[in-house]
Structure 1
Amino acid sequence: MKGKEIHGQVVKSLRFSRDIAIGNAIIDMYAKCGCLSNSRLVFKNMNDLSVVTWTTLISSYGVNGKGEESLILFEEMIAAGFKPNCVTFTAILSSCSHSGLIDQGRRIFNSMGSDFGIKPGIEHFACMVDLLGRFGHLEDALELVKNFPGEAAASVWGALLGACRIHKNMEIGEIAAYRLFELEACNSSNYIALSNIYESVGRWDNVRKLRSRMKELTLVKTPGLSCININDRVFRFFQGDVSLPQMKMAYETLDTMSKIMMLPQGYE
């Protein structure tokens, strides 16, 4: 609602209504709220377009799981005479990853250098590894990492490890994890990810060894938490936390809601 109010003020203002940066921000705002039709309408009514504007709209459709639409926009952008930049390729490859468009992602990745003279960077390799790994092409993802010019960054290996966790692939997961142990010696999440892979395949001896190693390195898993803002105060909630006086009431309410949701006929 606040975003619409601000958009209305922009439309009324002669000073800001033609500002490309503000238009891009409004497109992004509507997309993050899931209002893609509004994003497209703002894009259509903009007097001046830039590569950033096209990229913003491409990314907007991608993060909302509409990879096919992102690809259409990508082709329309090129046909309109705009040359994609590094950020554009990150956006379209990410869109392919969200929608499982493996062949299209490969084609675009390979076209970066041959058609546009852009050398794929770390973020592009990470997107491709995520795309291939997320949908089970772990061997291809590993080969891509190995072919990375120079030393692959932690983000690239991390994408591979995450994919191995999803698909319970211990062999490739170990390769990625032990490389990450070298690159990010103090990052406990990499140890946790490998431990989860070991658990999923029943390798409990490996789990115990890994947890023992974490203790030796004094690595502690950062607990997950939720935040809520009440009367300009931020309250943080950890699992099992009973420090706030209202927590007993909160847990009782959650327990009641859980029981209601488990009823065969729903609410009574």
Structure 2
Amino acid sequence: MSCRATQLSSILRTCAASSLLRQGNQAHAQAITHGLLPHPTLETDIVLFYARCSLLHLAHQVFDQMPHRTMHSYNILFSSYAQNHLFGSSLSLLHPFIASSLLPDRFTFPSLLKSCAGIGDVSLGMAFHCWVIHLGFDRYVIVQSSVLDMYAKCGLVNEAIKVFESTPEKDSVVWNSMISGLARSGRAVEALGLFRRLHWEGVETDLRAIPSILNVCGREGDLVSGKAVHGKVIRWLMDNSDLAVGNSLIDMYSKCGNLGYSKKVFLSMHEQNVVTWSTLIACYGVHGKGKESLIVYEEMLSQGVKPNCVTFTSILSSCSHSGLLDEGRRVFESMSRAHGVNPTVEHYACMVDLLGRAGNIEDALELISRMPMEPSASVWGALLSACAVHRNVNVGEISAQRLFELESGNSSNYVALCGIYDAVGQWDSVAELRSRMRNLGMVKTPGCSWIAVKGRVHAFYQGDIYHPLTRRMLEVFDGLIQEMATSEGDCG
């Protein structure tokens, strides 16, 4: 490699590290002017420079013109496409890569496995796993972590557990991937158990698993575990200085029914971003405190925080749950006019729900007709729910028909329409619709409640009498009813 080429390579790497676009372009131009191309090392550095500057189309153009592509140049594109969530583009390089007869290294597989997880191609991911084992790269923690993450995100949690247990040296990334995978798949007890095991084994925590664990606690309503995790966070950070963790704590306490703690965490945070404000707005809304949500929203605006799509979904949903029709309309109209945010399908669904709950069924239907995009199932579902509440047969039939087309296998839409017919006494329509459901093989999903007792989740389904403690629970329930009846008599 000539002295000039070496110098330009060094300049390109510096420009890549600092995203210095103008200087990097000049170095590329000099390489062409001085006739230094083609040159594998120099061309690879040019690919790296454009990729790091997020100009992937230019990086790929240079790559396509390389007569002799290096393994490093492939890895740059594999990684850059995966990091930018262009998973299909990353995997499209596989055919030329295999044809090149180059051997992958330990830097190749994490990007490819991430792309498989991104598009949900578990078959290709399993093929890469076999390749990893064949080449002996399973001894590298970063590769094993990527394999584990791919299985977890593709829903094969048991396979992910096997990879986790077979990894001899687990770093915090491996632990976090496994905990997050269990949390995402709804295996809350196992996720919490693994989180405790992490600390028993003295592994240093980098906080990335904390939001997943807090989400599990919130979803399960496990306030005791949530508080225990919060205690560990305080010991590690001495305050709520991590934004992602702080936001997750606000959400967890709200889902566990403790809105006061959510507000305390919010006030204790040294920094609040738009996610923090949006989360608190949503928390008040879920608890039916729409006016408080609006106060937080106005305070957010006064602090100069720019609302985003999620913020508007939260505030519109809050207005809907609290019946604040005029306020919701005002917020919806201000989205594009005052804040430059164009309403999405989710925002229209919130407005349809808001209008429907208030009994303005025809206005909701008219809003749907004016939508600039195709109404989704969530929009028609909100309208159908409103029709069920207000016993509007005509619009209910329109909504249900659209839902039958969009969600052909969803039995709840048929059940909702049956409920409308039943409420207005159209028994023939009820019988006809139930017959149609039987012909389609549809079964109504039973209602379900659950409670966590001593780390074990107990689920109770409507009409289910097979729980081992059913007799004992019914006895206690009967006793409570008698005690309440007695108390009412004494008060009378």
| TM norm. shorter chain > 0.5 | yes
Q: CA deviation at 1:98?
A: 1.3
Q: Is the 8 A contact 2:356 2:383 kept in 1?
A: yes
CA gap 1:218/1:24 in 2 versus in 1, 3 angstroms: same
| Coordinate RMSD, CA, aligned | 2.2
Q: Is the 8 A contact 1:158 1:176 kept in 2?
A: yes
Give the paired residue count: 267
1:91 maps onto 2:308 in alignment: no
**Range with bigger deviation, 200-209 or 32-41:** 32-41
Corresponding residue SS for 2:449: strand
Letter matched to residue 34 of structure 1: G
Q: Which has the larger radius of gyration?
A: 2
Q: Deviations over 1:131-174 (max 9, x none)?
A: 11112111111111111223200011000000110111111111
1:251 maps onto 2:474 in alignment: yes
Q: Deviations over 1:176-220 (max 9, x none)?
A: 011111111111110110000000000001111111111121111
Q: CA deviation at 1:231?
A: 6.0
For residue 276 of structure 2, the aligned residue among 44, 50, 53 is 53
Q: Deviations over 1:26-81 (max 9, x none)?
A: 22222223333332232222211211111111112111221112112111111211
CA distance in 2, matches of 1:265, 1:35: 33
Letter matched to residue 227 of structure 1: W
Q: Deviations over 1:223-264 (max 9, x none)?
A: 223334556555443333333454334334434433443454
Runs of at least 4 residues off by over 4 Å: 228-235
Q: Is the 8 A contact 1:16 1:22 kept in 2?
A: no
CA distance in 2, matches of 1:23, 1:162: 35
Residue ranges of structure 2 left out of the alignment (5+ in a row): 1-223
Letter matched to residue 83 of structure 1: K
**Counterpart residue number, 2:337:** 114
CA gap 1:231/1:10 in 2 versus in 1, 3 angstroms: closer
Comparing both chains, which one has the higher relative contact order based on Cα–Cα distances under 8 Å and sequence gaps of 6 or more?
1
Percent identical pairs in the alignment equals 56
CA distance in 2, matches of 1:61, 1:152: 28
CA distance in 2, matches of 1:35, 1:229: 17
**Counterpart residue number, 1:202:** 425
Q: Is the 8 A contact 1:260 1:266 kept in 2?
A: no
Letter matched to residue 390 of structure 2: H
Q: CA deviation at 1:114?
A: 1.2
**Range with bigger deviation, 75-84 or 14-23:** 14-23
Q: Is the 8 A contact 2:240 2:268 kept in 1?
A: no
CA gap 1:245/1:114 in 2 versus in 1, 3 angstroms: closer
CA gap 1:42/1:138 in 2 versus in 1, 3 angstroms: same
TM-score by length of 2: 0.51
1:265 maps onto 2:489 in alignment: yes
TM-score by length of 1: 0.90
Q: Deviations over 1:65-100 (max 9, x none)?
A: 211121121111112111100000001101111111
CA distance in 2, matches of 1:144, 1:188: 26
CA gap 1:231/1:96 in 2 versus in 1, 3 angstroms: closer
CA gap 1:108/1:231 in 2 versus in 1, 3 angstroms: closer
For residue 131 of structure 1, the aligned residue among 342, 347, 354 is 354
Q: Is the 8 A contact 2:345 2:373 kept in 1?
A: no
Corresponding residue SS for 1:145: helix
CA distance in 2, matches of 1:2, 1:248: 29
Q: CA deviation at 1:117?
A: 1.5
CA distance in 2, matches of 1:232, 1:3: 13
Q: Is the 8 A contact 1:130 1:159 kept in 2?
A: yes
